[in-house]
Structure 1
């Protein structure tokens, strides 16, 4: 019989008796009072937590600042509202329908030390008022995004909206977060700029009329100066800021940058720097 050296035999025995490590425990999303589970049913949705990385990406995409008021629709455990306050210095409000989840979020706010900046509302996002938000974040199903869309489009122009994973239908995003699931979609609520505008102030013009058509933030149209109609070039509408280029009565290319407020606008005609003021009123 062949005998193995003692050290080798001991090593082989040790290897034979070592058990594999236990599988990692499922991640815990709650506290001692309440433990939500991924996929649990809620009102019209199931709960799936937003990752820390996505939450931060959404807030960065919206360029959140301390002057902002962020509303998170369907706040869950409060992660996004807390991050808005803790990492970006903003005030934030989370609206959550599930009472136990809302209570958990409120406790998380206290644990995070941002109770002076974050409020959690136990309520329905289709009933609660979030019209004073400067930033909206949401992780809802497509049909809920579409149901909210008319309300969002009536909000103050320039309000920034970021959705996790699902878009807003045929309202095209202004920007994207990532290219694979889960991804994010960024929108800026546009002003209502459509219609016929009487324009004053164009250098050398006796009369000018701007006719605009609009679909969400996409705009186009014509500018008629002293009876001569031209198509405006490069029109963009970002919130209440409208920009377009045109030829003035001398045939010079000019760029207009105006701010739309209700049935009026005011701004500048530019050529590298401001040249003169223009204004408009809607018929």
Structure 2
């Protein structure tokens, strides 16, 4: 069975990588793209994009009304991704959202719409399978090592900090770790923010530099020992296997799923 796919943000680094993945898969069909410019053009009209007669729409509602699609992929920015996902669900097109930075309230809205229209939706802070495993291992370790800090590093064009992956990691750790204050009880920041953000007593540090893609370390400390769980994405191709997996899974879903780990076998 061929799965018809629409991709938002074709000119972005993640979007262009997703286009390459979708067009290389024999059971996927790229049927349209959504872009904030270039309405009425096709991919072959845009420099640097594949020579394909795939239509581009600026208005996502027009796209869903004119194009028959099964899955919608959004790898753009949080504000656009949230609005796009709502419209996709209302047209019973299954959204896959790989944009981090959505709020808990926005995630709940998508959950409710998916439930009402009985349409699958997958939102994942990270589609790299190795990163998902890193989060699960950190959750396991936190039961035995309650003292933990997270360092996440991303390229300098990333809008949200901390990353969705870091927040998701902390949320998973909270499931097995009791909240505790870490460090010296009289600890004082001589420069504000030196200890990073704090969640449930854990400290989360964000690094933004050119040359980075997506990297995270979860550091655990115990008596006489430390444990570091680390994952690195060196290019955006690392996320494509997870997105491919999600496309094949969301077709058979009728509900909202947050986190790739919840659909991995």
Larger Cα-atom Rg: 1
- Structure ranking higher in strand proportion: 1
